[in-house]
Amino acid sequence: MKLQSGRRILFANVPADGHFNPLTSLAAHLLEQGYEIAWYSSDLYAGKIRRMGIRHFPFKQALDINAATIDQFLPRRKRIKGKLSLLNFDLQEFFIKRGPEYYADIVALYEEFPFDLLIADCAFMGIPYVKDKMGIPVLSIGIMPLMETSRNLAPPGLGLAPAGSWAGKLWHRLLRKLVLGLVFRPSFRLLHGLLEEQGIWHGNQNLFDLAISKSDLYLQSGTPSFEFERPDLSERIRFIGPVLPVKLPARSNRLVRPPG
């Protein structure tokens, strides 16, 4: 995927520091290379985006649920008991339900900023809508450990090393069915229903795999040695090393990117 200098790129992120900061060095670099950059994000990051010399498009239809507004928008969260119930609630409310809202905002801002490429953190649920409904290429940034499902590994997030015995491999296979097919079933069912409403193919993929399959390229932070070896790694995945935030001096508008 190669863009000519001067083409327009839209950045987007889930409203959380760990989803915003890793994208800033890439945005600064592309800006220096002559690309026209805009950023769709929470008002939390408006100041930093503008100090980078980038146009900010705020959430409008999308609920701006973040650390400062969580109690305002999700008062029910405090009453949820059980870690699994809370995990599904967060997946649905922070990520999945925001997808159609992000899409509506992006369609509207496209009238002012007709972008040629979307670059977003891997948890930004507007990705499938932009890719399939708008036909615009998407580049995702893997800002967390690689969550792609593998036939050689236990479900993502459990931290289990690859099994060496047939019994261990069978156990990991059962775990994949249990975690991805049962524990997260309410969240994945909601995700699939929202995508189907827009006529977006999902192939019954889980949330984590969909972020990869709906991206033209998936740039994963770190190196392959940080991850367990997997023979079925998606061809879309590229390891890019550390993704560090831009440093903005307190009394200067000059960008300072990390060395290297």
pLDDT digits (tens, 9 = 90+) for 26-69: 999 999 999 999 999 999 999 999 999 999 999 999 999 988 88
Residue 215 has which token pair? 């991206």
Confidence band for 173, pLDDT divided at 50, 70 and 90: confident
Inter-residue contact 167 to 43 (CB < 8 Å): no
Query: What span, in angstroms and rounded, lies between the C-alpha atoms of 198 and 196?
Result: 5
Domains observed in the chain: 8-148+207-239 (3.40.50.2000)
Q: Which of residues 121 and 162 earns the better pLDDT score?
A: 121
- Pick from 66-70, 103-107, 134-138, 202-206: least confident: 66-70
Inter-residue contact 213 to 234 (CB < 8 Å): yes
Cα–Cα distances in Å, from 85 out to 67, 89, 191, 206, 217? 19, 6, 16, 17, 32
Query: What span, in angstroms and rounded, lies between the C-alpha atoms of 26 and 100?
Result: 26
Mark out the alpha helices in 61-97 (DSSP H runs).
70-73, 83-90
Q: Which of 160, 154, 157 is nearest to 176 (CA)?
A: 154
pTM of the model: 0.90
Residue 15 has which token pair? 């409203």
Range 134-150 burial, b when 16+ CB lie within 10 A, else e: bebbbbbbbbbebbbbb
Query: What span, in angstroms and rounded, lies between the C-alpha atoms of 26 and 243?
Result: 8
Inter-residue contact 126 to 96 (CB < 8 Å): no
Query: What span, in angstroms and rounded, lies between the C-alpha atoms of 39 and 21?
Result: 13
